[in-house]
Chains A and B, each alone.
Chain A
Amino acid sequence: MPIVLHRIDDRLVHGQVVLGWGAPLDIQFIVLMDNSIAESDWEMDLYRLGVPPHIEIIFSGIEGVAANYADYAKDKRRGILLTGSVEDMLALVRNLKSDATLQRNDIEVNLGGLHARSGRSKRLRYIYLSGGEEVALGEMAALGAVITAQDVPSARPVPLKELQTSVPE
């Protein structure tokens, strides 16, 4: 089980991911799933600078991650799969669910950070969701994904059902 965390975080590579989760989980590679970053040498260089030497960062679009997921599963190292959007994670979960060879019906999805933006409402200090994102998370759960919000390992994992109600700012 080399991908030990499937995380949605709109900050992508940052301290909580690389250090907060990376150290206790002994992470040695990060798959950054983002179509636009994977097409830009400039952006990839930028994110490489943010990762310590002992962690490899792999850049890929959604289709590439789906195609290579079985290879990640064979990797002896432990990794984090990271994306900035609910929609991209849903696309991956759909793909993995439909791939009989992978038999990944049990993916645990970590909501690590989706911040305030027009059209979103507050669910937790670090989680804001739009109506469309709620629907997408519901579909992910219906596909078998276990979804919890947890910014850092020491925090309580908050189940999806507790995120369905907006809270005051």
Chain B
Amino acid sequence: MKKALVAGHADFAQGMISAASQITGVGSTLIPFSNAHLGREEIAAELRNIIDQNDVAVIFTDLPSGSVTIEARRLAREIPGLAVVTGLNLPVLIDYLLCRSNLAENALEQSVQRGRAALSVTPSA
């Protein structure tokens, strides 16, 4: 079964996976990764090691400018079919988990759209 890597700063990945698993009950296909205490080359090596050992289809990251994101994008250029989604929030991850059987080409885009739509301010301006 295809897996997804959730990667980011400090305990971001563990927290996102914990929350998504509690809500959906199907978080076992998610692999956490933290960049804590790692340099650029070490991040790249560890990401590649995880991908080599697992059938990873997508990497979700926290910040567009994050060190993990840059190394994930580097891998995505080398590995056909590997997608990178940045700016992950919980609604995106939940939608992805619940719709993994959706093989539509734009399934990831749909999850991202739902994540964007979940952002709101109350009261609105």
B120 in the interface (beta carbon within 8 A): no
In the bound complex, residues from chain B placing their C-beta under 8 Å from that of A42 are 77
B interface bracket (residues with beta carbon within 8 Å of A): 10 to 19
A17 to B37, CA, bound (A): 16
Complex contacts, A18 vs chain B, CB 8 Å: 65
Task: Tell whether, in the assembled complex, residue A46 and residue B39 are in contact, meaning their CB atoms are under 8 Å apart.
Answer: no
| Among A65-73, A88-96, A112-120, A153-161, the stretch in contact with B | A112-120
Enumerate chain B residues within 8 angstroms of A46, measured Cβ to Cβ. Answer: 70, 73-74, 77
B38 close to A (CB within 8 Å):
yes
Please provide the chain B residues from 19 to 70 with a CB less than 8 Å away from any CB of chain A in the complex. 35, 37-43, 63-67, 69-70
CB of B65 within 8 A of CB of A117, answer: no
Q: Tell me if A52 counts as interface (CB < 8 A to partner B).
A: yes
> B114 at interface (Cβ–Cβ under 8 A)?
no
Residues of the A chain whose Cβ atoms lie less than 8 Å from the Cβ of B77: 42, 46
The answer to whether B63 touches A15 (Cβ under 8 A) is: yes
Residues 18-55 (chain A) with a chain B CB within 8 angstroms: 18-19, 42, 46-47, 49-52
Most B-side CB within 10 Å, residue of A50, A114, A116:
A50
We find that the number of chain A residues with CB closer than 8 angstroms to chain B is 24
Give the secondary structure class of A's interface.
loop
Query: What A residues does B41 contact at CB under 8 A?
Result: 10, 117
Q: Are A50 and B70 in contact (CB under 8 A)?
A: yes
Asked whether B9 is an interface residue with its Cβ less than 8 Å from the other chain, the reply is yes
A19 lies within 8 A of B67 (CB): no
The contact string, 1 if C-beta is below 8 Å from chain B, for chain A 107-135, is: 00000011111000000011000000000
Contact B9 A10 (CB under 8 A): no
**15 interchain pairs, CB-CB under 8 A:** A10-B40, A11-B40, A12-B40, A15-B9, A19-B63, A42-B77, A46-B73, A47-B70, A50-B65, A50-B70, A51-B65, A52-B64, A84-B40, A114-B39, A115-B42
Interface residues of B (CB under 8 A from A): 9, 35, 37-43, 63-67, 69-70, 73-74, 77
A-B CB proximity, top 8 nearest: A115-B39, A14-B67, A18-B65, A11-B67, A10-B39, A50-B65, A15-B63, A15-B66
